[in-house]
Structure 1
Amino acid sequence: MRTLFFATLFVAGGFIACSSGTAQSGGQTAREEQPRLPKYGPTWVEEDTVQFQVSLTDSEWKNRLNEVQFHVLREKGTERAFTGEYWDNKKEGTYYSAASGQPLFTSETKFRSGTGWPSFYEPINNDAVLLVMDYSYGWNRVEVIDSKSGSHLGHVFEDGPQPTGLRYCMNSASLVFVPKGENPQKYLPFLANATDD
């Protein structure tokens, strides 16, 4: 029983660390409070209104992704803190979307956030990701999704380092790291068969 208590406490603490959103309080509802993120940068969207370039059935996604990737990317799951492959990766290279194969972040913008998830202060370019308001679990958070597939990557918070002051808190399962100078197709075999994505 004691082990179950501490395991539950650990998981809850990890969730809160990557959920630094604004809780509902007083007479305000979650939807009334808006984030102060800058208006420039990635595009804000309502997910239901976007046609994504990479659109697969659940069965096709399950063929492309492993079980953890499918849960995180397609079911908006979150991996536990300090368990993902890239949270402490210090190698030079580029982080690609495990769903669409497009480049998302570089090692140059990665920083140690202490949260247990890979964190970056900006995407590789503003078109790589889209921002969506996330009101789940009673929090106001800004979800970050892959602009080509609409897949869940993580969330962005306003407690990062300069020059942006932002922390893109990503799930390792949503990313594929390609070391500098290597061919992305070696790590993302589906790219070899892609026509437009």
Structure 2
Amino acid sequence: MKKILIILLFTIIYNCNSSAQKQVERLNLKITKTEAEWRQQLTELEYYVIREAGTERAFSSPLNNNYEEGLYVCKACETPLFKSEHKFNSGTGWPSFDREIKGNIAYTNGNTNSFYGVEEHCANCGGHLGHVFNDGPRDTTGKRHCINGVALKFIPKE
């Protein structure tokens, strides 16, 4: 019985990742690089999260507790993604925002299990950012963009 459950779990995970990857490949990306170029540019953890749709450990990003004024951009291509004024403490351990900068985020339904939300990618380079859920602040958008801090670069307001 254990073997069947392990095989089933592996099949589900594998199919979800390949489905999400195929959806990303269909995006009209402005920035394209080879995997070797991405590996040279990104750290091992950044590559795992941004290019392989991984997830960093909760509460591990210094950006989780950053509330300075500024802009959050894609770590891979510096596309503006989120404004600091839309950041909030979700208590989840990942930087969270109630809205994105329109047009700079692409969405794929990488996992059919709604527990994981809808996958978010940089619209310019296709980098995996995190997921969006419908359990954000009700007084604004009701959205919670749960983003891997390692996929972001913070640019303070001058």
TM range (shorter): 0.7 to 0.9
Change (3 A) 1:48 1:62: closer
1:47-81 alpha-carbon deviations (Å, 9 max, x no partner)? 23223111001111112111111110000010010
Paired residue type of 2:122: D
- The aligned counterpart of 2:75 is 98
The one-letter amino acid paired with 1:60 is E
Match of 1:130 in 2: 106
Over the aligned positions, Cα root-mean-square deviation in angstroms equals 2.0
Aligned ranges 1:1-197 → 2 under 5 Å = 46-124=23-101, 126-135=102-111, 139=115, 141-161=117-137, 162-181=139-158
| TM-score in terms of structure 2 length | 0.81
| Structure 1 alignment gaps of length 5 or more | 1-30, 32-44, 182-197
Q: 1:83 to 1:114 in 2, by over 3 A?
A: same
Alpha-carbon distance in structure 2 between the residues aligned to 1:140 and 1:65 = 25
Could you list the runs of 4 or more consecutive aligned residues of structure 1 that deviate by over 2 angstroms after TM superposition? 45-48, 136-141
Larger CA Rg, structure 1 vs 2: 1
Q: Structure 1's 94 and 79: CA in aligned 2 closer, same or farther, altered over 3 A? A: same
**How does the TM-score come out when normalised to structure 1?**
0.65
Aligned residues: 137
Percent identity, aligned pairs only? Answer: 41
